[in-house]
Amino acid sequence: MPDFEPQDPDFEARVRASFGRQTVMTTIGARIERVVPGEVEISLPFRADLAQQHGFLHAGIVTTIVDSACGYAALTLMPPGTGVLTVEYKANFLAPASGVRFLARGRVVKPGRTLTVATGEVVAVADDDTERPVVTMLATMMAIRERPGVAD
């Protein structure tokens, strides 16, 4: 994995503050676990109210956490005064999302001034802490300027 140099010395605080304002993460019970230049990890405990009709975590929830992990991984490398929006992503579902918790890991592949490409994965964690791949994602993130009065 390449070593990336963040443009903002306060990147971790900025990412964590932005995550705290993302109400969808609060709603589903996700937590940001790890923030390093170019990488972010988000965890989510299994909740039956977020499952689909077969009892697996819903695909929309799975992609929500990995999209955020990729976006925040990109944000770690962006300059102060910049936010991030998803331009596109492709998700491949590898297995049903069955586990006691889920870890979404986002990693920057190619940072850019306007567009950043990231990969993501979600693993299901079992009671014995073994991990099983559930989803892999390729995402493109766009840098945006923060608007006065609106946080990233």
CATH number of the CATH domain containing 47: 3.10.129.10
Q: Is residue 150 part of a domain?
A: no
User: Which H or E run contains 38?
Assistant: none
Which pLDDT does position 148 carry in this prediction?
62
Average pLDDT of the segment spanning 72-98: 97
Average pLDDT of the segment spanning 102-118: 97
Q: Is residue 109 part of a domain?
A: yes
Determine if the pTM surpasses 0.85: yes
Q: Is the pLDDT of residue 1 over 90?
A: no
Q: Is residue 1 part of a domain?
A: no
Q: Is residue 115 part of a domain?
A: yes
Q: Please count the structural domains in the chain.
A: 1
Q: Is residue 128 part of a domain?
A: yes
Q: Is residue 3 part of a domain?
A: no
CA triplet 126, 137, 144: central angle to 5 degrees? 125
Q: Is residue 4 part of a domain?
A: no
State pLDDT tens for residues 87-104: 999 999 999 999 999 999
Q: Is the pLDDT of residue 12 over 60?
A: yes
Residue 54 belongs to what domain range? 11-145
Average pLDDT of the segment spanning 20-34: 97
What burial class does residue 92 get, using C-beta atoms within 10 Å of its C-beta: 0-12 exposed, 13-18 middle, 19+ buried?
exposed
**Rounded Cα gap, residues 107 and 1, in angstroms:** 9
Which pLDDT does position 136 carry in this prediction?
98
Confidence of residue 146 (pLDDT cuts 50, 70, 90): confident
Q: Is residue 34 part of a domain?
A: yes
Averaged pLDDT score across all residues of the chain: 95
Residues ≥6 apart with Cβ < 8 Å to 18: 72, 75, 83, 151, 152
| Residues above pLDDT 90, as percent of the chain | 93
